[in-house]
A = this chain, B = another copy of it.
C-alpha cells in the first residue's frame, strides 16, 4: 500500500491518515471484492445515497443505475457522484468505549459520471457487471435485447480521484487501560455465500454450472 496521498484531492484521508491508501492495486481489490457500492449524488441540493451494483474494468468503474434512473437521468451532462464501497472485517472491542472500532476496508471514488450510450461499451459494461457477480456467468445467461439495453442505465466513472481506508489488527487500547478487567480483542466478520438454490417456481432445466460449483475467491465465498 502506498500511504502517500496525492496532493489536493478531495479523497485524501484526514482522520487517521495512517489508514489511508492511494495505490491503484489496493483500491481495485476493494472495489472488486464488494458486491454493492453506495452511490451518492446531489439532487435539488440534497444528498442521496443509493445502493447499486458496480464493476471495475481497468481504470473505469461501471455502475448499474436503474434503481435511481429517474433522479440520475434528470441530471444532464454529467453527474457529480461519490461512490463508496465498504467491506467489513471485524468488530474491534477495546477496553474503553472510546477505542471501540471496526476492522474494514473501504474505497471512495469521486468524479463526474457519464452515461454510457455507445452500444458496444454498454454491452461490455453489462457483461463486466454480471462477471463481477459470478465469474463465468456472462457467457451463459442470455444477453440483452435492444429493448432491454435501452431500459438499462449504465454510468461510467473514471478512477482518477480515489482513495482507500483500511483498519486491521487488534484494538488500540491506551496504556492506562491495559490492566482493566475487560476482555479486549476482535470478532472477525465475513460475508459468505451459501449453496445455490434453484428457482423454486420454474426449476432450471440444466444442472448447476461449474462456475457456480467451485469457489469464487478465497476470502469471499463458500460456494
The interface of chain A, by Cβ under 8 A from chain B, is 10, 14-16, 35-36, 38-42, 45-51, 53, 66-70, 80-84, 86, 88, 91, 93-98, 100, 102, 104, 106, 108, 110, 126-127, 130, 133-134, 137-138, 140-145, 148, 151-152, 170-171, 173, 177-202, 204-209, 212, 223
| Cα(A127)–Cα(B86), bound, Å | 24
- In the complex, chain B residues whose CB is within 8 Å of the CB of A83: 49
- In the complex, chain B residues whose CB is within 8 Å of the CB of A47: 40-42, 47-48, 80-82
The answer on a CB contact under 8 Å between B206 and A134 is no
The answer on a CB contact under 8 Å between B40 and A144 is no
- In the complex, chain B residues whose CB is within 8 Å of the CB of A68: 15
- In the complex, chain B residues whose CB is within 8 Å of the CB of A130: 97, 100
- In the complex, chain B residues whose CB is within 8 Å of the CB of A95: 141-142, 204
- In the complex, chain B residues whose CB is within 8 Å of the CB of A208: 183
The answer on a CB contact under 8 Å between B70 and A35 is no
| Cα(A98)–Cα(B45), bound, Å | 32
- In the complex, chain B residues whose CB is within 8 Å of the CB of A91: 35, 133-134, 193
- In the complex, chain B residues whose CB is within 8 Å of the CB of A209: 183
Residue from A47, A140, A142, A187 with most neighbouring chain B CB atoms (10 Å): A47
- In the complex, chain B residues whose CB is within 8 Å of the CB of A98: 144-145, 148, 151-152
The answer on a CB contact under 8 Å between B171 and A199 is yes
The answer on a CB contact under 8 Å between A66 and B97 is no
The answer on a CB contact under 8 Å between B199 and A185 is yes
- In the complex, chain B residues whose CB is within 8 Å of the CB of A70: 14-15
- In the complex, chain B residues whose CB is within 8 Å of the CB of A181: 205-206
Q: Which of B82, B170, B194 contacts A187 (CB 8 A)?
A: B194
